[in-house]
Chain A
Amino acid sequence: MKRQLIAAVGVAAMVVGLAACGSDAKKADDAAKPKDYNGKTLTAWVMDGSAPQTWQDGIKADFEKEFPGAKLKLEIQKWNGIGAKVTTALSEGSVDVLEIGNTQTAGYAATGGLLDLTKDKANLGGNDWAANLNNSSVFEGKQYAAPWYFTNRVVIYNKELFTKAGIAAAPKTLDEFYADLDKLKAVPGVTNPIYLPGQEWYTYFGLVVSNKGQIVKKDGDKYVGNLSSPEAKAAFEQYKKLQSYSNAPKDKDEATPAQGGIFAKGDVGAMIGLGWEAPAPKDMAAEKIGFFPIPGVAADKPSGVFLGGSNLAIAQASKNQDLAKGFLKLAMSDKFEGQMASTGLIPNKPSLNSLAVTDFAKAAIPASASGDTTPNIAAWANVENTPNPIKDFLTAALAGDYDAAAKKYDEEITKRLAQKQ
C-alpha cells in the first residue's frame, strides 16, 4: 500500500534529524615503548595564528633529525568550536601534543585527558619558567602542560590616517585617545576611527581589570558572575565610548569578519588586536602600521589587558608519549621558544624577553604588567563555550539596559560555573 510507504517515509524523515551524540567506549591500548621510531607519526595541533612558519619548518626538521624514522604532523586548528574537537581528539587518542588556551587548560586537566608532566617538568626546562606564566598549566598541584607563549592586545593603528588627522604622538590617556578618535572621524574617507566589534570581550575584560574589578568573583567556595558590580559597569562605560567610534557590528566578535582584513583596507584608523592580527606585508605595508598600548585613565599606566596565552599539553591517550615529550622539550628549548619571542610574543622565561623586540612587542610588553587572566578553575571553560555569555552580554548592554543585561548574564555565568563536570 502506498499509504504505508508514505507513513514509513514520514517516520524516516522524522528520525533523520536526530544527531548522534554517541561515542564508542574503547580503551586506548597502553603505549608500548618503541625501540625505533620507524613509521611513527606524532600529531601535534597548533592554533591558527600561533606558530610562525619558520618555527613550524624548523621544529619539524629538528624533530625528525632527533628521532630518525619518526614523522611530525603539525595540524593548524581554528579557535572557533575547538572545545568539542579537543574533547573528541583526547577521547580517541587521535592527537599527541596539542596547544590549549591558558583559560581552558584547567578544564581539560580536570577531565583526565592530559598527561601528568609533574615528573618531567625539570627535564623540560621548567625550573626557569616564570611562575605567573606557569600558573595556568598547574591544576591541583600537578603540572599538566608546559607554558608556551603569552600575549596581550594593543592598539594597532594606521600611521597615514593618524598623520592626516594631525595626531603627532600616540595618546597617553583614554581622554586623549577619545579626542584623537574624534579627529580621525573628521578625516574624509575614514569609515571607522576605530574598528571595535561589540563582542570584543577581551578588551572589555582588560578594562574591568584596570577598574580593579572582576568578571567573576569568589563567593564562599564557589564562583559567581560579577557583571553587576560597579567596577564592571564603569569598565563598560569606557568600552561603550570606544565602541561608539566604530561601525563594526555590535553582535559580532573580532574574528567574524576577521578585523585584520578590514583594517587592511586602509580606511580604518585603528583596531585593538594581537600581533598576528596586524595585516601581512602583502596586504598593507609594514611601515604604515603602528602600535601603542591601550591608554589608561592616567598617563602613567596603560589600561589593563587580558593576558592570553597558550600551553602545550600531551594527550593521556597518546600512543607516542616518549616522542611527545621529546617534541615538547624541543619546543621549550631556547631555540624554538626564542623564535616565538622574536615574533613579539612573551616567552615562558624572562631570559628570552630581550628577543621580543618587534614594534608590537614594544607596545605589548609594558601593558602586560597590568594584565590578568580568568580564574584558574576547571569550570571556567564552560563560560567560554559558544554562545559565550560575556559576548551576548556586551551586545545586550550596548543595545540599552546595562543593569538588566548584567543581571541576566550573571545568572547564566553562575549557572555555567556550577555545571557538573
Chain B
Amino acid sequence: MAVHSERVQTRSPLVGKDAVDPSQAAAVKGAPKNTRPAAGPGLLARSAPYLLILPAVAATLALLGWPLVKTFIISFQNLNKRQLIQHLTEWNGFDNYSDQLTNAAFWNTAGRSVAFTLVNVVLTMVLGSLVGLLLNRLGKNMRLLLSFALIMAWAMPIVASTTVYTWLFDSQFGVVNWLLSQLGWDSMATYNWYSGQMSTFFVITLLVVWGSVPFVAFNMYAGLTTIPAELYEAARMDGAGSTKIFTSVIFPSLRPFFLATTFLEVIWIFKCFTQVFTLNAGGPERLTETLPVYAYIEGIGNQHYGAGASIAVLTILILGALMAYYFRIILKQEDEL
C-alpha cells in the first residue's frame, strides 16, 4: 500500500514535465528552489524535523524501549516474589534460558505458536484478499455496507469481541450449539467447545481471523484502486480469465502490499495474547498456550518474573527468525534503490 503511493508520487512530476505549462515554467524559473530551506536560515528551522519527531521517539523509547531493556535485564535474574518484595537483585546468568531451552513445555509451546501463526496468517490473507476483491467489484451501496461491517469488526475492542465469542460458543447457553441442534445435529446441543485443544483453537482462530480480515481487505481494496483499468482491459483482450488476471496483473502489481501485510499479520498473530488468554486462559490443560500466554502464566501467574522475561526474550528471537526473510527482502530492495 505504502509502496503504491510512492509510485504515484514518482509519476506525477514526470507527467508535469511532459506537459510543460508555460506559466508554470515561468514561475519555476522566477522563484528560487523552495523544496528545502537548505542554506541555514535558523537553528530552529534546521532542527524542526527532529523536534517534530521528538514526541513520537520519546514515547516509543519510554513505553517500548525501556520495558524492553528491563525485560532483557530481568531475564538474567532469579526474580520471584521474595526478591520482588524485598527488592533483591540475584543475578543467575543464563540459568533462566537454559531452564527454558531444556524444557519440553517450552518447545511444545513454541511449535504450537508457529503452527497457530501459520494457519491464521494463511486464512487471514486468503479471506482478506477475497473480501478486498469483492469490495472492488461491489456497487456503491453494497460496498458501503460491507465497509461498515468490516470497520465494525476492526474497531471492536478485543476483550469485548472475545467475550461475545465466549458466549456464542458457550456449551449450555451458546447460540452456536442451539443453532446446530436446531439443524438436527443433536449431539452438539451441549457440546463444550473449550474442552478440547483443537475445538478451542477453532474458536480462537475464528475470532482472530474475523478480527484480522478487515485490515487485509481494506489494504487490498486500496491497492486495487491504484491499478489502472487499462491493464485489465489489455489482459482481457489477450484472453486472460479472472484467475490469470489475478496472477498476472493484480498479484505482481500488489506484491509489495502482499509482502508487507503478510508480515504485519505474522507479527500480530504470533504475539496475539488477548484472544488466546481471555477465551480459555490457555486451557484445557495448558494445551492452547501460545508463547506470549506461556510467558504470562510462568512470569506473572506463577510469579517467576525472571523466567517469564527469558521466555519473552526468546519469543522475540523466534519472531525475529520468522521475520528474517522479510527483513532480507527489505534490505535487498534498499540496496537496489
Binding site for B on A (CB under 8 A): 1-7, 9-10, 12-23, 25-27, 81, 83-84, 87-88, 90-91, 107-108, 110-113, 247, 249-251, 316-317, 382, 385-387, 392, 395-396, 399, 416, 419-421
Contacts and interface: CB of A to CB of B under 8 A. Distances in A.
A292 to B, nearest CB: 27
Nearest to B194: A251
Given A2-B3, A110-B82, A18 B67 contact: yes
B67 A251 contact: no
Nearest to A16: B64
**Interface-centre pick from A9, A17, A23, A25 (highest chain B CB count, 10 A):** A17
B2 interface: yes
A84 B64 contact: no
Contacts of A17: 270-271, 273, 292, 315-316
Contacts of B67: 18-20, 22
Given A19-B312, A110-B82, A392 B303 contact: no
Contact of B85 (A21, A111, A251, A420): A111
Contacts of B190: 247
Contacts of B305: 21, 23
Contacts of A1: 334, 337
Contacts of A382: 302
B301 A84 contact: yes
Contacts of A20: 67, 70-71
Contacts of B284: 251, 392, 395
Given A7-B327, A18-B67, A22-B71, A84 B303 contact: yes
B219 interface: no
B281 A386 contact: yes
B286 A91 contact: no
Interface in B68-103: 68, 70-71, 73-74, 78-82, 84-87, 89
Given A91-B85, A387-B283, A14 B334 contact: no
Contacts of A419: 80, 302, 304
15 contacts: A3-B330, A12-B60, A13-B268, A14-B319, A18-B315, A25-B87, A83-B301, A87-B84, A249-B171, A251-B194, A251-B195, A392-B285, A420-B80, A421-B80, A421-B82
Given A3-B330, A91-B85, A420 B78 contact: yes
B323 A14 contact: yes
B253 interface: no
Q: How large is the interface on B (under 10, 10 to 19, 20 to 34, 35 or more residues)?
A: 35 or more
Contacts of B323: 10, 14
A407 B198 CA distance: 24
A87 B271 contact: no
B173 to A, nearest CB: 10
A7 B85 CA distance: 40
A12 B60 CA distance: 8
Given A9-B264, A386-B297, A387-B283, A18 B192 contact: no
Given A1-B334, A26-B87, A247-B190, A18 B82 contact: no
A379 to B, nearest CB: 11
B172 interface: yes
Given A6-B330, A21-B312, A84-B301, A13 B267 contact: yes
B260 interface: yes
A317 B80 CA distance: 17
B109 to A, nearest CB: 13
Nearest to A86: B81
Given A7-B330, A84-B300, A387-B283, A14 B192 contact: no
Contacts, number: 162
A91 B87 CA distance: 7
Nearest to A5: B2
B224 to A, nearest CB: 19
Contacts of A108: 81
Given A14-B316, A21-B312, A249 B285 contact: no
Contacts of B302: 382, 385, 416, 419
Given A7-B327, A22-B70, A249-B195, 9 more contacts: A1-B334, A10-B264, A19-B71, A25-B87, A111-B86, A113-B85, A251-B192, A386-B297, A386-B301
B211 interface: no
Interface of B: 2-3, 5-6, 60, 64, 67-68, 70-71, 73-74, 78-82, 84-87, 89, 171-172, 190, 192, 194-195, 260, 263-264, 267-268, 270-271, 273, 281-286, 292, 295-297, 299-305, 308-309, 312, 315-316, 319-320, 323, 326-327, 330, 333-334, 337
B268 to A, nearest CB: 7
Q: Which of B5, B87, B303, B320 has the largest number of chain A CB atoms within 10 A?
A: B303
A385 B303 contact: yes
B258 to A, nearest CB: 13
Contacts of A88: 84
For the complex of A and B, the 9 pairs showing the least CB-CB separation, nearest first, are: A17-B271, A20-B67, A22-B70, A113-B85, A111-B82, A2-B2, A87-B81, A25-B87, A21-B305
A14 B334 CA distance: 21
Nearest to B273: A17
A27 B86 CA distance: 9
B85, B194, B263, B305 — which one has the most chain A CB atoms within 10 A of its CB? B85
Contacts of B312: 18-19, 21
Nearest to B190: A247
A21 B264 contact: no
Contacts of A111: 81-82, 85-86
Q: Quick one: which of A27, A81, A88, A111 has the most chain B CB within 10 A?
A: A111
B281 to A, nearest CB: 7
A416 B80 CA distance: 13
A316 B282 CA distance: 35
Contacts of B296: 19
A419 B78 CA distance: 11
Contacts of A10: 263-264, 267, 323, 326-327
A147 B260 CA distance: 60
A385 to B, nearest CB: 5
Contacts of A3: 3, 330, 333-334, 337
A410 B319 CA distance: 34
Contacts of A110: 82
**Max chain A Cβ within 10 angstroms of own Cβ: one of B60, B71, B81, B327:** B81
Contacts of B319: 14
A399 B68 CA distance: 42
Nearest to A4: B334
Contacts of A15: 64, 68, 316
Nearest to A83: B303
A18 to B, nearest CB: 5
Contacts of B327: 7, 10
